[in-house]
Structure 1
Amino acid sequence: MSCLKCLKYTMCLVNFIFFICGAAVFGIGIYLMTSTRFSSILPSLQAMNIANTLFIIGIIITCVSFLGFLGALKENRCLLISFFILLFILMLAELAAACVLLMYERQIEKFIDEDLKSGLQKSINDRKNVTDTDDWDTVQLTFQCCGIHNSSDWLNNVPKSCNNPGNGTRYWPKGCFKKLQDAFENNLLNAGIGVIVVCIIEVLGMCFSMTLFCHISRSGLGYK
């Protein structure tokens, strides 16, 4: 019985921490949506700009962790099984996305390259002057790149985020597509470890919730 209580309160604590983190990500997404102008880098994924992505991730983390926290605290079978199902679906979605990335790497690179061109052209058309900012500026400042392949992609409307103060050249020499590729390849091991860690956390969450679920069923407490 003491082990089950320890399991219950451990699950409550972990889910409470995730709830706070999810709420913080959710808040950052709302702040960015209300304070910054965004244009889609990938027009085919128009809704998935930085602000919307943080907003959606925050909602998912907050809702799932709230179910786990309340289900463990109240020992509610409905909430615990809902928590288990949501974690299982999330894990399947992550594994499916990883498999798709590995199987269709070349096709995805070609699609991203073409979509980046459409997104950059849209950004050029939307900008009134080089001082306007959007998602492109965030990417270029973060990765110290300019355009898709180089600064010529911006034609005569090169934004200030392309400026390279570190040497004699005016703009960052590398394009963002190459920089993003390099960043992905250099952090492939870390990304793989991150995915494994997330999956382990999800599996542990499912095991904890199912253990509590079975204990409540054997206790005859039913659906409260």
Structure 2
Amino acid sequence: AGMAGTCRDSHFYYYGIKFALSAYATLFSILGLLILSVGIYAEAERQRHKTLEGIFLAPAVLLLLLGITVFLVSFVGMLGSLRDNRTLLKVFFWVLLLIFLTELLLIFIEIIFENKMNEVLHSNIQAGIRHYYDDLDFKNILDFVQEKFSCCGGDEFRDWEVNQYHSCNGSGALACGVPHSCCIRRVPGGVVNTLCGYRTLDKERLELLGTIHVRGCIHAVGLWLKDNFEATLAIVCSLLLPQV
């Protein structure tokens, strides 16, 4: 009777682990396919509008890479668990461990070398601002961030000087100004004045406090993450815990 009970327990444990692993891998395979589908659609739109080829300036490419990676790794795990294939399960385990350690390393690098990482991020954002009107993907993302976090540019609002249309050396209506997504909206949901940032780049910060957001988005997002530490921790854990 004791041996029979032990066998039943071991079988229950085995099938429980197998079901949990299969469900986990299947869920993330579906998630990978969804991300891949969004990436394919975004890439098709990017090609249709002939936007830039740079990786940073093409979020669609990042979605494609992320979707392919998530799907392939999860599919290997799902197949290995369903067929009890030890080789596939070992591949799944080691790849997942490598991804997990890489994510931890990136988090530690960001914490330890925060200033250096901010410089790299600032450089990339400036490159995006330089081609702001050429890349719809980047334009939409930056507009969203500037409106959501009440910020302007990467390090500060004067980053918009690098864009040929907003440069103070330009001659158009946008010259020496910033996009409307940098403007302070007094009436939420009201009609947007697209020229609200007109002639702001040649003024001092104190003169613009009631007109545009002068703080850069790198600092604004960083402050939001620190002020919302619980939410930040929850996001990090939601990314890391499923891999454990």
TM-score of Structure 1 vs Structure 2, range by shorter chain: 0.7 to 0.9
1:180-219 equivalences under 5 Å are 180-203=221-244
**Aligned residue in 1 for 2:111:** 102
Count of residue correspondences: 192
**Aligned residue in 1 for 2:157:** 150
Matched, 1:23 2:33: yes
- What is the rounded CA distance, in whole Å, between the counterparts of 2:241 and 2:71 in structure 1? 19
TM-score by length of 1: 0.72
CA contact (8 A) 1:23 1:62 kept: yes
- What is the rounded CA distance, in whole Å, between the counterparts of 2:126 and 2:238 in structure 1? 35
Looking at both structures, which has the greater relative contact order when contacts are Cα pairs under 8 Å and sequence separation is at least 6? Answer: 1
TM-score by length of 2: 0.67
- CA deviation profile, 1:8-30 (whole Å, cap 9, x unmatched): 12211121111111110111011
**Aligned residue in 2 for 1:60:** 69
Q: Secondary structure at the match of 1:32?
A: helix
- Of structures 1 and 2, the larger Rg is shown by 2
CA contact (8 A) 2:146 2:182 kept: no
Could you tell me which runs of 5 or more consecutive residues in structure 2 were left unpaired when the two chains were aligned: 1-10, 161-165, 168-173, 198-211
**Aligned residue in 2 for 1:139:** 142
Change (3 A) 1:53 1:183: farther
Relative to its length, the structure with more helix (as a share) is 1
- CA deviation profile, 1:121-173 (whole Å, cap 9, x unmatched): 233xx64xxxx734033221244144332277233355455566545982442
**Aligned residue in 2 for 1:213:** none
- What is the rounded CA distance, in whole Å, between the counterparts of 2:17 and 2:103 in structure 1? 26
CA contact (8 A) 2:145 2:217 kept: no
- CA deviation profile, 1:95-131 (whole Å, cap 9, x unmatched): 11011111100111123223322332233xx64xxxx
Amino acid at match of 1:173: H
**Aligned residue in 2 for 1:118:** 127
**Aligned residue in 2 for 1:173:** 213
CA contact (8 A) 2:59 2:138 kept: yes
- What is the rounded CA distance, in whole Å, between the counterparts of 1:89 and 1:121 in structure 2? 36
Q: Secondary structure at the match of 2:131?
A: helix
Q: Secondary structure at the match of 1:114?
A: helix
- What is the rounded CA distance, in whole Å, between the counterparts of 1:65 and 1:16 in structure 2? 7
Identity %: 23
